[in-house]
Amino acid sequence: MATDEERVRIASSFLLDSPPGEINDVFNDVRVLLDDDALLQRNVQSVFAQYNKEQLTVVQVPGQSHKSVIAQEGEVDGGRFLDPRSKQVFVFDHIRQEASDPEPYTETTETEAQRAALEEAGLKYLEEHYPAGVISVFDDGQASTVAIVDNKYNPNNFWNGRWRSIWKVTPGSSEVTGTVKVNVHYYEDGNVQLNATKDITVTVPTSQDNPTAHATSVYKQIAKAEGEFQTALNESYAQLSETTFKSLRRALPVTRNKIDWHAISTYKIGAELQTK
C-alpha cells in the first residue's frame, strides 16, 4: 500500500500536469482518487503555487484595467507578487487565483530604464501578435525578464490552449535567451495533448544609449524567433497527420466507423494561440 508521501507525490504530479484552464477539474478528480481531504489540504497550497508560477497564470490587478503575470521573477518578500506596470505588490490566492490587498512598490533598480522601454515596446508587440495576451516585464538589477502568456479556452468545442514565452535581456549583452512553450488539450471523443518547448537564443545590438531603440530591436528578433517556432510547429504536426497517424490507425476503428483523417489534419489548434 502506498504511503501518504507517495500518494501526495502522485497527486501533485497530476495537478502540475493539468492542461490549460483545467486545474480545478483535475483537483476535483484527484480529491476523489485520494479520498483524504485532510492530507490533500496540507499539501495543495504549495502545489498550486508551483503550478501558477510555472504556468505564468494571469490575474486581474486590483484597481487597474490590465492583468499581470504570476511568475517566480515577480515574487517579493512575504509571498506577495509584483505588478511592474502599475508598480504595486499584492497578495495572490493561489487556489482562487485572485489578487487582493495592493500596496505601492517603491524599489527601483539601475536598469529600470531598460525595463520600462521593454515594457512599452512589449505592449505594442502584444497588441500585434497576442491581442488577448498578457505581458509583464520584471527586473532584478542584473537582467530584465519578459514574460508573455496567451490563453485560449474553448470548452464548448472541447479544447484549451496556452502559449508561454520567457525572455532574458541582460544589459551589455548581445544575446537574448528565451524559452517558448505551447500546451494544447483537445478532448472531444478522446484525449489528445500537445506539449512543445524550445529554447532560443537571438542576437541584438548591444548599444544601451537608447533604451527605446534597443527594446525595438529585441522585439524584432523575438517576433522572428516566435514566428519561426510557430511555423515549424504547424509543419511538423501537418507531417505527423500524414504519416505517423495514418500508420497507426486501424482500417476500421473499434466503433466500426471510418475516421476522416483529412479533416483531422486540417485542425490547427496550435495556430489559434498566436495571431499573426
Q: Which cell goes with 188?
A: 472531444
Q: Which part of the chain is CATH 3.30.1140.60?
A: 1-54, 56-107
User: CATH 3.90.1150.210: which residues of the chain?
Assistant: 112-273
Q: In angstroms, rounded to a whole number, what is the distance separating the alpha carbons of residues 219 and 118?
A: 8
Amino acid at site 28? N
Which residues are bridge partners to 135 per DSSP?
148
Q: Kindly report, residue by residue over 3-58, the tens digit of the pLDDT.
A: 888 989 999 999 999 999 999 999 999 999 888 889 988 989 999 999 999 999 99
Q: Give 56-107's CATH code, choosing from 3.40.30.10, 2.60.40.1510, 3.20.20.60, 3.30.1140.60.
A: 3.30.1140.60
- At 239 the pLDDT is 72
- Contact, 68 vs 148, CB < 8 A? no
Domain 1-54, CATH class in plain words = alpha beta
The confidence score (pLDDT) of residue 30 equals: 92
CATH of 112-273, one of 3.40.1360.10, 3.90.1150.210, 3.40.50.1110, 2.40.50.140: 3.90.1150.210
How far does Cα 263 stand from its chain's mean position? Answer: 28
Q: What is the pLDDT of residues 85-106, one digit of tens each?
A: 999 999 999 999 999 999 999 9
pLDDT tens digits for range 141-186 = 999 999 999 999 999 999 999 999 999 999 889 999 999 999 999 9
Element (DSSP H or E) covering residue 58 = strand 58-60
